[in-house]
A and B are shown apart, each in its own frame.
Chain A
């Protein structure tokens, strides 16, 4: 060994200890150097980890998607119910207005009828008076004809 010159004057114990240390390191290094490499196992473990992380990622994505869909559906349902309620309220209000209006109409219809009857009576009277006036204001020269007309009409 080339370092034995360092050991000149040193104790035998130190020399032995250093030799044993060197032999120990050689044995450990040889064993570690020639051991089967674990790269394949690591790769497998790595691929399992990758697969697990992918599965977890997909699960999370699917969960969040389902949550989002549920939330949208829930909101749509709420909006539909609100719209339905509003429509019902409007319908009720419309019915109330219609009822009120019909009541008002019922109140106003007889007056209109009376007015109409009154108007028609007045019209007949007016026509009768016009007729009589017209029939009376016949020129004197036409008086015999008028009498004839009256006679024919009465016949």
Chain B
């Protein structure tokens, strides 16, 4: 998405119109940002929930992500998509969270992260037999087990690819890695999942 500067004139159907005032520009920017929040908030929340397995924390970090985005909205030049930009902020936030938790592990840090079994309980109510449901649940649990064993970067790349369904180029832009590195991380992550599925068979 490419944004124009607030001081530029709007040209509609070849006719010059009055220059935009600062107030109008702010209003337009606010409306634009509100649309971005509405459309991207569920995805950011889902990515953070998958990364942290903590609903409250995911909500808090989602809020923080959009707060940061709002503060820096004027500086967003539109070099990448708004989603990639927001995802980058979310990745940095969760990175900061894990770093702080590692530093402060000896302090009284409380986490509400659900365990893997609980996380695996969630499945859509499809028209499936009980056996299929059980099999699906088991597979989800195995994938969670594999995800748990991944490094922070591998987990981020894996979730962006297989939960958020982002393109490799978008993942590279969001994580600040090259596409080759993203592919390598994905390959290792898939290897883990494969090994987990084989091991449980």
* B119 smallest CB distance to A (angstroms): 7
Cβ contact within 8 Å between A24 and B162: no
A14 touching B124, Cβ below 8 Å: no
Known: A14-B190, A14-B194, A31-B122. A20 touches B46 (CB 8 A): no
- In the complex formed, the residue of A with least CB distance to B54 is A32
State the CA gap A42–B161 with chains docked (Å): 36
The digit string for A13-53, where 1 denotes a CB below 8 A from any CB of B, is 11011101111111111111101000000000000000000
| Chain A binder among B3-11, B75-83, B95-103, B137-145 | B137-145
Assess the B143–A28 pair: CB atoms within 8 A.
no
- Interface size range of chain B in the complex: 20 to 34
Question: Number of A-B pairs whose CB atoms are under 8 Å?
Answer: 83
Q: Say yes or no: B140 contacts A20, CB within 8 Å.
A: yes
A113 contacts the other chain (Cβ, under 8 Å)? Answer: no
Task: Say which residue of B42, B49, B162, B186 sits within 8 Å of A21 (CB atoms).
Answer: B162
Number of interface residues of A (CB under 8 A): 26
B46 in contact with A29 (CB, 8 Å): yes
Within 8 A of A (CB), among B20-42: 42
Partner-binding segment picked from A1-9, A97-105, A130-138, A147-155 = A1-9
Asked whether, in the complex, the Cβ of A27 is within 8 Å of the Cβ of B123, the reply is: yes
Among B49, B142, B162, B186, contact of A28 (Cβ-Cβ < 8 Å):
B49
A11 to B193, CA, bound (A): 12
- Check B161–A29 contact: CB distance below 8 A: no
CB distance from B51 to the nearest CB of A (A): 11
Cβ of A7 to closest chain B Cβ, rounded Å: 9
B122 touches A20 (CB 8 A): no
**A interface footprint on B89-127 (CB within 8 Å = 1, 0 otherwise):** 000000000000000000000000000000110111000
| Chain A residues whose CB sits within 8 angstroms of the CB of B161 once the complex forms | 3, 6
Contact between A2 and B193, CB atoms less than 8 A apart: no
Is B66's CB within 8 Å of the partner chain A? Answer: no
Answer whether residue B152 sits at the interface, using C-beta atoms and an 8 A cutoff.
no
Cβ distance A19 to chain B, nearest Cβ, rounded Å: 9
Q: Give chain B residues whose Cβ lies under 8 Å from the Cβ of A24.
A: 119-120, 122-124, 136, 140
6 contacts between A and B (CB under 8 A): A1-B165, A10-B194, A20-B139, A21-B162, A24-B119, A26-B46
Question: Chain A interface (Cβ within 8 Å of chain B)?
Answer: 1-3, 6, 10-11, 13-14, 16-18, 20-33, 35
